[in-house]
Amino acid sequence: MPPVFQSVTPEIITRLTAIFGAENISTTQADIDLHARDQSFHHAAPAEVVVWPDSAEQVAAALKLANEARIPVTAWGVGTGLEGNSIPIFGGVLMSFERMTRIVEVHADDFQVTVQPGIGHKDLNAQLARYGLFFPPDPGANATIGGMLANNAAGIRTVKYGASKDNVLRMQVALADGRLITVGSRSVKQAAGYDLLHLFVGSEGTLGIITEATLKLVPVPALMSAALATFDSVQAAVETVVAVRGSGLDPAALEFIDAAHCKMLSTSDGVDLEERPTLFMEFHAAQPEALEAGLTMVKQICEEMGALSFRSTTDNAERKQLWTARHHSLEIMKRLHPDKKFFVNDVAVPISAYPELIGFVEDLRTADDVKTYMIGHAGDGNIHVEFPFSDEAEYQKVMATNGKIVMKAIELGGTATGEHGVGIGKMKYMPAEHGPALDVMRTIKQSLDPNGILNPGKVLPETLESTQA
């Protein structure tokens, strides 16, 4: 049976006000509308009340109240999600962490930092620069640490440094019944008990709400270089990705960008790109000799694989310009197509299967007669296929093609979502990807959130249906 949720009553508002203070709670339409949708194409859904916690204790107290009253609670970072992960589709309480942005402690000698969940990763790295350290995962937008951990966000540097799950050691989590627990440890080696830390990472606020996290840091690289290689065909470019990964080189970033994207980025940001399938690469090193050796080797690989051109730079301004264009590609695309909406696909496969997946997408362009752009973190087998659409008919056509790509990725031993999370849109593919393991996930959900109040309608297909009294 689906959970039955209750509405937020004046009495609940009074009790929430006592927990958060009158200045940290709102039922105004402006605040509700501001937190009703993220950056995805999914429809907006309003909460009944927005609250801004300042402490873990406030989060726990509010969850205890909501659990007893059977009121849904959805956590909100900054709304940069692309799968509707934080849309409060069943109303209730929207818990925004926009005011929990403190750095609790920098453990510089241990290459760690403890933070509240609402701090943006770019803001965090700006403050960590004084210590010569940084938090590596970079999803592009200034996503919050809590949101990144909840969705296991990744980004351009995953190929070298890993995703969010690989860069967290300890978290404080508020459970549905109001308990505050600590999972993980500041010790890099951890072998005591079940790995609850990674149970909550990627759970999208459906099992508990992250209130604090201790993250791994790495030293800011002494030397960085960027390299561009262009190819005559998509196939040659993606086969080069496999060759680079198999060479023993350790790129910090390895991105594939199709010809249409290159044209768009060059036109909009003044970046000098050819209208051809292109690889963006970045390398980090402590010594100039190591950096030069890496660039020489990757140039040789690209040329052997048929690269039409190769250029590299150690100029930080030029390197940053390239990555700024890459990070803003979706915004640039939307600006150039003001009459279009965009759906962004997100799948990942083993690196050996990457050429087959990209070839499959290329074939679908013709077979399904759909307009697509491809851009992705090729070094870890992740691709984003971006579909423009104008109306319901085009949207349905896009969804059909997207479904074929997702199922192909799963067939190749991959996943329906590499870094955007399941949210609303990927739930339908969970049975195909996980099979009987999905029942184990439901058991865990039932154990930790028996009343189903935590971010209902996300991740698990069974939570799609609910009623509100």
Tell me, what's the pLDDT at 314? 84
- Residues 371, 303: one domain? no
pLDDT band at 468 (very low <50, low <70, confident <90, very high): very low
pLDDT digits (tens, 9 = 90+) for 36-74: 999 888 889 999 999 999 999 999 999 999 999 999 999
Number of domains composing the chain: 4
Tell me, what's the pLDDT at 144? 97
Instruction: Give the domain-ending residue among 186, 219, 252.
Output: 219
Contact (Cβ atoms closer than 8 angstroms) between residue 56 and residue 99:
no
> By C-alpha distance, which of 117, 168, 173 is closest to 144?
117
- How does the average pLDDT of the chain come out, rounded? 93
71 in any annotated domain: yes
In this structure, what CATH number is given to the domain that contains residue 94?
Answer: 3.30.43.10
Does residue 397 surpass a pLDDT of 80? yes
Tell me, what's the pLDDT at 467? 34
Helix (H, G, I), strand (E, B) or coil at 445: helix
- Residues 405, 459: one domain? no
Q: Output the six-digit token pair for 153.
A: 């966000």
pLDDT band at 263 (very low <50, low <70, confident <90, very high): confident
Range 11-21 average pLDDT: 98
407 in any annotated domain: yes
pLDDT band at 407 (very low <50, low <70, confident <90, very high): very high
List the single range of 293-307, 333-347, 416-430 with lowest mean pLDDT. Answer: 333-347
Tell me, what's the pLDDT at 268? 67
pLDDT digits (tens, 9 = 90+) for 106-116: 999 999 999 99
pLDDT digits (tens, 9 = 90+) for 411-453: 999 999 999 999 999 999 999 999 999 999 999 999 999 999 9
319 in any annotated domain: yes
453 in any annotated domain: yes
Instruction: Give the domain-ending residue among 271, 305, 330.
Output: 330
- Residues 92, 109: one domain? no
Q: Which domain range does residue 341 map to?
A: 337-431
DSSP per position, 370-413:
---EEEE-GGGTEEEEEEEE-SHHHHHHHHHHHHHHHHHHHHTT
437 in any annotated domain: no
SS3 content of the chain, % helix, strand, coil (to 5): 40, 20, 40
**Rounded-to-integer distance, Cα 407 and Cα 186, Å:** 39
- Residues 278, 189: one domain? no
In this structure, what CATH number is given to the domain that contains residue 129?
Answer: 3.30.465.10
- Residues 214, 292: one domain? no
> By C-alpha distance, which of 354, 356, 395, 398 is closest to 376?
354
- Which residue, chain included where needed, has tokens 């109303």? 91
Does residue 379 surpass a pLDDT of 60? yes
232 in any annotated domain: yes
Does residue 363 surpass a pLDDT of 90? yes
179 in any annotated domain: yes
- Residues 427, 447: one domain? no
301 in any annotated domain: yes
> By C-alpha distance, which of 402, 267, 389, 269 is closest to 327?
269
Tell me, what's the pLDDT at 270? 64
> By C-alpha distance, which of 90, 64, 75 is closest to 7?
90
- Residues 212, 259: one domain? no
- Residues 239, 159: one domain? no
Strand partners, 181: 173
List the single range of 322-326, 363-367, 371-375 with lowest mean pLDDT. Answer: 322-326
In this structure, what CATH number is given to the domain that contains residue 414?
Answer: 3.30.70.2740
The share of the chain scoring above pLDDT 70, in percent, equals 97
- Residues 193, 109: one domain? yes
Nearest 5°: phi and psi at 234? -60, -40
pLDDT digits (tens, 9 = 90+) for 203-241: 999 999 999 999 999 999 999 999 999 999 999 999 999
**Rounded-to-integer distance, Cα 203 and Cα 15, Å:** 28
Strand partners, 168: 215
CA distances from 204 to 291, 454, 455 (A): 38, 9, 8
- Residues 107, 122: one domain? yes
Range 171-191 average pLDDT: 97
- Residues 44, 148: one domain? no
Instruction: Give the domain-ending residue among 304, 330, 356.
Output: 330
- Residues 26, 66: one domain? yes
Specify the higher pLDDT residue, 268 or 31: 31
